[in-house]
Amino acid sequence: MSLPARLIEGYEAFRSGRLAAEQDRYRELAEQGQSPEIMVIGCCDSRVSPEVIFDARPGELFVVRNVANLVPPYSPDNNYHGVSAALEFAVGALGVKHIVVLGHARCGGVRAFAEDSAPLSPGDFIGKWMSLIAPAAEKLGPCGDPPSADYLARLEQASVINTLGNLLTFPRLGKLAACGRVALHGAYFAVATGELLILDPQSGQFVPAASGAVRA
Ligand SMILES: [Zn+2]
């Protein structure tokens, strides 16, 4: 089976556009290696690409995406830990200075948790994975049946805060964050309007990142 035509067309557009314009940068990155200062932990959702939202150039963002932008607590054992491995590399080898947990509106993973959705397969990988947000949900209280849009948005944002707490359970990162060498940030992308909200650590509220209304 051949690669979808959409991807071939997209690559052609990339080659004649962005690659042509940034060829030198790609060569430089190939020779010198990457040294991004920012790690983004985002959701797999096709609407919330961090590189698009932050208008990133090659080499600028070290991105990990998973269902509902989660990070499990530090748990060294014999299981496979993809997010922890990426975090270990970002902090220990790349020396990133910022880690951004990017949540978003209308997250299917968060909805699945709130609605207690039936497993999609016998493995119930989503159910197990999404149980990571149980501590955030417990803090919010009853969710209603079905959960309201307002509740889901609050849970999506509470989950970002919970994930920031999980990041601090990684001993090395916890130390670096405590002494200000790595800054942790929470953000939330409202898909329909394109508005980006940033977590204000003082108030615990998500506030607009940019002044002025986003043009519809
Ligand atoms: Zn999502």
56 Rama sector, left if φ>0, alpha if ψ -120 to 50, beta otherwise: beta
Q: Which residues contact 164 (CB under 8 A, 6 or more apart)?
A: 101, 184, 186, 199
Q: What is the distance in A from the centroid of ligand 1 to the CA of 103?
A: 7
pTM (2 d.p.): 0.95
Residue 105 pLDDT: 98
Residue 216 clears pLDDT 60, i.e. is over it: no
Residue 211 clears pLDDT 80, i.e. is over it: no
Q: What is the distance in A from the centroid of ligand 1 to the CA of 65?
A: 9
Please give the backbone phi and psi of residue 173, each rounded to the nearest 5 degrees, phi first: -65, -40
Residue 1 pLDDT: 83
Q: How far apart are CA 139 and CA 71, in angstroms?
A: 18
Write the single-letter amino acid at 32.
Answer: Q
Residue 142 pLDDT: 87
Residue 125 pLDDT: 94
Q: What is the distance in A from the centroid of ligand 1 to the CA of 195?
A: 16
Q: What is the distance in A from the centroid of ligand 1 to the CA of 20?
A: 33
Residue 62 clears pLDDT 60, i.e. is over it: yes
Residues 172, 177, 180, 181, CA torsion sign: positive
**Tens-place pLDDT, residues 112-158:** 999 988 999 999 999 999 999 999 999 998 888 899 999 999 999 99
Q: What is the distance in A from the centroid of ligand 1 to the CA of 141?
A: 21
Q: Would you say 83 and 64 are in contact if contact means Cβ atoms under 8 Å apart?
A: yes
Residue 3 clears pLDDT 70, i.e. is over it: yes
Instruction: Tell me the pLDDT band of 162, cut-offs 50, 70 and 90.
Output: very high
Q: What is the distance in A from the centroid of ligand 1 to the CA of 111?
A: 9
Distances (CA, A) of 120 to 96, 123, 124, 127: 36, 8, 6, 9
Q: Assess whether the previous peptide bond of 135 is cis (omega < 30° from 0).
A: no
Residue 206 pLDDT: 97
Q: What is the distance in A from the centroid of ligand 1 to the CA of 21?
A: 32
Residue 97 clears pLDDT 60, i.e. is over it: yes
Question: Residues of the chain with pLDDT > 70: what percent?
Answer: 98
Calculate mean pLDDT across residues 94-116. 97
Residue 111 CA, distance from chain mean position: 16
**Tens-place pLDDT, residues 8-45:** 999 999 999 999 999 999 999 999 999 999 999 999 99
55 Rama sector, left if φ>0, alpha if ψ -120 to 50, beta otherwise: left
Residue 131 pLDDT: 96
Q: What is the distance in A from the centroid of ligand 1 to the CA of 106?
A: 7
Residue 215 clears pLDDT 70, i.e. is over it: no
**Tens-place pLDDT, residues 171-200:** 999 999 999 999 999 999 999 999 999 999
Please count the CA atoms within 13 angstroms of the CA of 67 that sit on its side-chain side.
Answer: 15
What ranges in the chain are assigned the alpha helix state H?
Answer: 5-14, 20-21, 23-32, 50-53, 82-89, 108-114, 125-130, 134-140, 149-167, 171-178
Residue 109 pLDDT: 96
Please give the backbone phi and psi of residue 118, each rounded to the nearest 5 degrees, phi first: -70, 150
Q: How far apart are CA 100 and CA 75, in angstroms?
A: 21
Residue 213 pLDDT: 57
